[in-house]
C-alpha cells in the first residue's frame, strides 16, 4: 500500500494530497487513487463517478460549482496535463471561514491533488493550453441540485490569473449569483 501525504489547506476542511511517485529510467509510476491509503490517512469517501475536462485555451474558467444535498459532492481533483489555479470556496454559513477560499496550483508536473469537501463551491482557471483535469466525485450529477457561484464575486477576494474580459466562460457560469444572493438553504450545510 502506498503512503499518501495529506496536508490541510488554509481552510483545514480542504486537503492537499501528494501521492508517491516512483521514477526509473523508463519514466514514472504512481497510484493516483488508492482508497485504502486515503482511508489510512483519514479520508474515507465513497467516490461514485470520475470526470475529465479538457480546456484548450489558457484563461478558461470553469466554476464555481456545487451540488446541494442530498446530492452534495466531495471532489478529488488532479491535473493530468497542463496547469490550473484550483479554487474552493467555503459555503458553510456557520463556519468561521464562510465565504473564504483556498487557491492551489495543480499541474501535471507537481502531481498535487485537492480534496474539496461537501459544503464548498469549486472552480478553476487554466494556466496552460490543453489542460486536462480529472476528478472524482462522491455523488452522481443531479441537474436539479446543480448550483453555482459567480467566479468573480468581489466579496470572495479570489485573485484569478485572468481578467473578466479575457476569461473564457460558459454562458451558465457568466450568469451565476454572488455569494450574498445565494438562497440561505444553499449555505446551510450540516444544519
Active site residues: 65, 135
Output the nine-digit C-alpha cell for 181. Answer: 444572493
- Residue closest to 51 by CA, chosen among 17, 78, 90, 81: 78
The whole-angstrom separation of Cα 86 and Cα 147 is 18
Q: Are 169 and 59 in contact (CB under 8 A)?
A: no
The whole-angstrom separation of Cα 57 and Cα 61 is 10
- Residue closest to 186 by CA, chosen among 69, 106, 100, 76: 69
Amino acid at each position: 500500500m502506498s503512503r499518501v501525504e495529506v496536508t490541510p489547506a488554509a481552510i483545514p476542511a480542504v486537503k492537499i494530497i501528494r501521492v508517491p511517485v516512483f521514477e526509473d529510467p523508463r519514466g514514472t509510476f504512481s497510484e493516483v487513487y488508492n482508497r485504502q491509503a486515503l482511508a489510512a490517512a483519514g479520508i474515507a469517501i465513497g467516490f461514485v463517478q470520475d470526470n475529465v475536462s479538457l480546456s484548450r485555451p489558457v484563461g478558461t474558467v470553469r466554476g464555481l460549482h456545487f451540488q446541494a444535498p442530498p446530492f452534495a459532492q466531495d471532489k478529488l481533483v488532479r491535473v493530468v496535463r497542463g496547469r490550473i489555479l484550483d479554487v474552493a470556496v467555503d459555503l458553510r454559513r456557520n463556519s468561521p471561514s464562510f465565504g473564504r477560499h483556498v487557491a492551489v496550483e495543480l499541474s501535471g508536473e507537481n502531481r498535487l491533488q485537492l480534496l474539496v469537501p461537501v459544503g464548498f463551491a469549486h472552480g478553476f482557471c487554466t494556466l496552460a493550453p490543453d489542460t486536462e483535469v480529472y476528478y472524482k466525485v462522491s455523488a452522481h450529477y443531479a441537474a436539479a441540485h446543480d448550483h453555482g457561484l459567480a467566479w468573480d464575486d468581489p466579496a470572495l477576494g479570489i485573485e484569478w490569473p485572468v481578467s473578466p474580459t479575457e476569461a473564457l466562460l460558459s454562458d451558465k457560469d457568466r450568469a451565476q449569483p454572488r455569494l450574498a444572493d445565494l438562497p440561505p438553504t444553499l449555505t446551510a450545510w450540516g444544519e
